[in-house]
Each structure stands twice: as C-alpha cells, then as structure tokens.
Structure 1
Amino acid sequence: MIAVLFGVFAALCWSIHDVIARSIAGSVGGFRTAAWVMVSGFIVLSAYVLWDGSVWQASGPAIFSGLLLGFAYGFGVGGLFKAFSLGPVSLVGPITAGYPVLAVLWGVFNGLEPTALQWACVGATLLGAIIVARSGEPDGGINAVAPGKMPALLFFAVMAVLGYSSSIVLGQQAALSVGEVDATWLSRPVALLVLLPFAFLDGKRSVLTRNQWIGIFVMGTLDVFGVIAVNASGHFPGKEFAGIGISAYGALSVIMAMIFLREKVSPGQWVGLAMIVTAVATMSVTQN
C-alpha cells in the first residue's frame, strides 16, 4: 500500500506540474520548457545534496545508476512537454497516464505475480485512460488538436511513455544504491543533455517573462518531489504497483485543467476518470 501511496503523491505533483506546463509550453517551446525545468530542479536539490547528500560516498556503479535514470527521464519529460505544446491536457494527460503499467509488466517479467484483482485494476486503468482520451467534447480533447498535428502529438506521447516507464524502474533501482534524493539530483544534468539538442531545434527563442520563470521553478520543484517519491517507493514491497498510483495523474490533470484552464470534460471522460480512480484506490487497499 505504501508504494501505491507514493505513486499517488507523485501523481498529485505531476498533475499540477502538467497544468502549468500546458500554459507555458506553447509559447516557450516544449523542449525548451523541459530543459529549464531540469535546470530549476537541479538548483532546488543542490543545497541539500551539497550539505547532506550520500552521493559523495557513493560507488561508481551507484552514481552511474542515477545518471542512467536521467537519460531515460530526459526523453520522458521532453516528449511530454512537446506533446503539451500540441494538444490539451485533457488529451495528453490520459494518453501518457498508462505508462506506469509498463513498469508493472517489467515486474511480472522479473517474477512479480499480481492477483486477478490487481490485473483487473491494471486493465481498468488503461481502459479509463483510453476512454478519457477518446471522449472529449466537440471542441475539446482530440478535437482540439490542430489539423495535421495528431501524428506528431502521438509520436511525442509515445516517447514520453517509453521514457517515463523506463525511469520508474531505473529510479527505484538507483534509490537502493545511492538514495532517492541523490539519484534525482544526478539525473537532472543528464536529462538536460538529452533535451538540449531538441531544445535548439524547437523553434522558440523568445525571452521568458517573470511569470514564466516562476512557473518553471514551481514545475522544477514539483517534478523533483514526484521523482523522489517514485524512487523512494523502491524501498517497499510491491514497488512495481507505485506505477498504478502514478496513473491517477491522468485523471487529476484533467480535473485541474478543467478548473484552471477551463478545458471541457465530457460525461464520457468522467466515466473514464471514475474507472482510473477506482482502480487506483482498489490497488491501494489490496496490495500486501
């Protein structure tokens, strides 16, 4: 249960993070925004790591595990932010929310044996995300994407799914060797290096406003808290199920986009959101 709750906390952080990203990425550029978020997250964590981090006594392989996390995370966050620059939260959030299921499948490959009810929760999470993505209002969801932009949006959404799902596994492993905070700190510079080539090709060169800088530092803080929570779940039994908790972020981001960005939510999307929330809650109370 604890691992799932860590995932739910990360989902809350990232849902707020996604609403801010949607409001900034279109004008700043998806990859540029992601790159600055990595910089801000590194700054936020540096004071703690320099003061009390275990990274300075860590072995070479332990440090490498944190750096490898950054490689995967760079592709995940870059793909997500670029997708947000092409479509609304009510579409991109649910499409990418199913990525934690891949972490569960990785656990199955390595000996995890989910119960029938837990498999049902995984299936309900995926189905709920599909329903939310496909059931938007006539001027919302998939219908809000500019003509011809849907293939690009899907490409970057898949990029986000693969990057984030890999980062769950790598982050939990890194937490065991170097610590969840230090692993998150190590991952930021590597993620930035992954993002820089994309950022230079993003086509956006405008000077950031004060509010955009504030938004980026808020996103950077929320992002590192979310990553730390997921990494920390690696210390607990059933760590693979933390991903199911994370999947709640698709539902939470849609609700927050409705409140703060005035994006419309259809009755069909509410059904999908209810499925996701129910599946996550059930997984939380049934995990041993």
Structure 2
Amino acid sequence: MINSLTLGLIAALCWGFHDICVRYVSQKTPLMAMLLTVLLVGLAFHLGLMTATGGFETIALIPALYAGIAGLFFLLASLGLYYAFERGPVRLVSPIIGAYPVLSIAWATIQGTPITALQILAVLAIIAGVGMVAALADQSNEDTPPKGLTILYSFIAAVGFAGTFAFGQHAAELSAEMPATLVTRILAPTLLVVFMLVKGHTFWTGRKALPVLILMGIADGIALLCVVSASGYANPEYAAVTSSIFGLITIVLAWAILREAMTRAQWLGCAVAFAGIGYLAL
C-alpha cells in the first residue's frame, strides 16, 4: 500500500545509493561537473516521466514561486552534500545531513502543528547521536580533511533539504506535483550553470564517470519525486522524515564497500540518532 511512509522509504534507498556514489566518484571527478550531470539526468528523467504519464499541466504563479524557492534550497542542499561527501568521512557527514527532520519538525511546529514530549526527546536523541559521531570523527587514522568545514557543509545540506521538502510539498499542495517538481528541477541546474560559468569550473566529468552519474541522477529523480508526491497523502511530512534514514544506509554501505572504519561508540551514536529519526516517523 502506497502512503507517505512508503514513499519516504523508497526515497531513502535511492538517496543512500546516490550518496555512497558521491563519496566514491567525487575522489576522481570534478565536483561541480559531477553535480551538474546528476541534476541534468534527474531533470531528463522527470521530463520523461511526465511525457509517459501525461503529467504536463499549467502551474499558477504562487505554487511556481514556492517550487522555485524549493529549487534554490535544493541546489543549496546538493552543493553542501557534494562538498561534504567529497571531504568525508561518511560516518560524520550522514548523521548531520540526516538530522534535517529536526528542522522539518521545528518548521511544522512554527506553523501550528503540536509537538509532544516524546517528539522533543527524539529530537534531543538525534542531536546527541550526531554530536557523538562528530566528536569522535577524528579518532581514526584515515586521511580526511579537518572536520570543521565538513560539519558546516553537512549542516548547509541539512538546511537545504528541510527547505526543499517544506516548499516543494507546499507547491505540490497548491498545484500538481509533477509540474511543481519540474520547476524545482529546472531552476537548480540553471543556477548551477551560472555559478560554474562565473567560477570557471569545467563542465566535463570524463567518460568513465558517466554511467554511474546517470544512475545517480535517476535515483535522485525518483527520491525527490517520492517526497514531493507525498503531498497527496496523509501526513506528507512523514515522507521527509522517513527518507532521512538514507544516512544510515549510506553509513552501512561506506563501512561494507569503502571499508571506512567505525568504532563501537560511533555505531552507538548513529544508532541513537537514527532511533530518534525512526520515532519521528511513527
């Protein structure tokens, strides 16, 4: 049965795959060219889906404006995520980015949604778990950059995702989700192209990286569409919250595939953080 939680879980799996690929491919590929390719593939995937389903509809000015703001946040989230995962390690980056439901819950509370004592405890658990992983991130002998800037990029990504989902779902509530998501999908790479031209970044990723980048773009396209489409179901915020467990998926993949070391205390911190996220999804 399709509901907000199911859509969130599909998004989590897709983003978990996407993020572990970012960590791996970014070590050998120009970062901005890599991000632009993934965004363009995601846009092409969305256009193909709209063509196949007849999802082209006009969108009014107000929902288009909200979708455009979601596009700004989506680009901010993507830049923060790519820079953070390029630096690594995954065990530091993923819990911070995955903690964006804290911001989503805070935004819902500001809008008048009541929050219970247990939800507050879950938020505190997320903060405590993330803090534990961050504090222990420099105890390994891995060749990774200092964690301060990595934490900043990760936090920027978390803010970006929270904003993307909040404004994107609101746009989809006022209009159909497919054209609303299309506005978001168009604006993000357009602004990135302008940024790359100003900064003089290369646009070519190299031929070897293209197959993986295409898969990443499709996975990202499916994930964002799932979260935004949740606006048509009860409790759409659950999709944004549930999708945040992509961080746990990424950490496990990094440990299993990339052989990133994890201490027991770091596993405990991840467990505490994602247990809090899991509770918010109930």
Asked if TM exceeds 0.5, the reply is: yes
Compared with structure 1, are the counterparts of its residues 207 and 172 closer, same or farther at alpha carbon in structure 2 (3 Å cutoff)?
closer
- Structure 2 counterpart of 1:255, one-letter code: V
Alignment match, 1:15: 16
State how far apart, in whole Å, the 2-side matches of 1:28 and 1:93 are. Answer: 21
Instruction: Note the C-alpha offset of 1:214.
Output: 1.1
Q: Which residue of the partner structure matches residue 57 of structure 1?
A: 58
Aligned with 1:85: secondary structure? helix
Residue 180 of structure 1 aligns to which amino acid in structure 2?
Answer: E
Q: CA offsets per residue over residues 87-113 of structure 1, 9 Å max, x none? A: 222221122221221111000000111
1:259 aligns with 2:256: yes
State the AA in 1 paired with 2:36: A
* Contact kept? 1:27, 1:204, Cα under 8 Å: no
Offset at residue 252 of structure 1 (A) = 1.7
Q: Which moved more, 1:195-204 or 1:16-25?
A: 195-204
| Equivalent in the alignment of 1:153 | 150
1-structure distance, mates of 2:165, 2:114:
19
- Which whole-Å deviations, capped at 9, do the CAs of 1:190-238 have from their partners, x for residues lacking one? 1012322443577764853444111111111111111112112223343
Q: Report what 2:33 is aligned to.
A: 32
One-letter code aligned to 1:233 = A
Which residue of 2 is the match for residue 178 of structure 1? 175
Q: CA separation of 1:43/1:156 partners in 2, compared to 1, >3 Å: closer, same or farther?
A: same
Hey, which of these two has a bigger chunk of helix by percent?
1
The 1:34–1:207 alpha-carbon spacing in structure 2 relative to 1, beyond 3 Å, is closer
- SS of 2:261's equivalent in the other structure is coil
Q: Distance in 2 between matches of 1:206 and 1:106?
A: 36
DSSP 3-state at the match of 1:208: coil
TM-score, with structure 2 as normaliser: 0.88
CA-to-partner distance for each residue in 1:121-157, whole Å, 9 max, x for gaps? 22222322222333347336xx6432xx544323322
* Residues 79-118 of structure 1 aligned to structure 2 (within 5 Å): 79-118=80-119
Cα distance change of structure 1 residues 137 and 65 upon mapping to structure 2, 3 Å threshold: closer
Q: 1:152 to 1:31 in 2, by over 3 A?
A: farther
1:201–1:82 CA distance, 2 compared to 1 (3 A): farther
TM-aligned CA deviation for residue 188 of structure 1: 1.7
Q: Could you say what the CA RMSD is over the residues aligned between the two structures, in angstroms? A: 2.6
Deviation at 1:85, TM superposition (A): 1.7
The offset of 1:176, in angstroms, is: 1.4
Supply the AA of the counterpart residue of 2:260.
E
2: distance between equivalents of 1:163 and 1:281?
A: 21
Give CA deviations for 1:151-176 in whole Å, capped at 9, x if unaligned: 43233223212221110101111221
Alpha-carbon separation, structure 1, partners of 2:85 and 2:225: 23
Aligned pairs (5 A) from 1:94-243 = 94-136=95-137, 138-139=139-140, 144-146=143-145, 149-200=146-197, 205=202, 207-243=204-240
Which 5+ residue runs of structure 1 have no aligned equivalent?
Answer: none
Q: 1:272 aligns with which of 269, 272, 281?
A: 269
- Cα deviation, 1:229-265, whole Å, max 9, x if unaligned, reads 2112223343334333233222221111111211111
**Deviations 1:42-87 (Å, cap 9, x if unpaired)?**
1112122234344433323333332322121011101110122222
Aligned residues of 1:19 and 1:253 also touching (Cα < 8 A): yes
Output the amino acid matched with 1:186: V
Distance 2:15 2:277 in 1: 16
Q: What is aligned with 2:246?
A: 249
Post-superposition offset of 1:9: 2.7
> How many corresponding residue pairs?
281
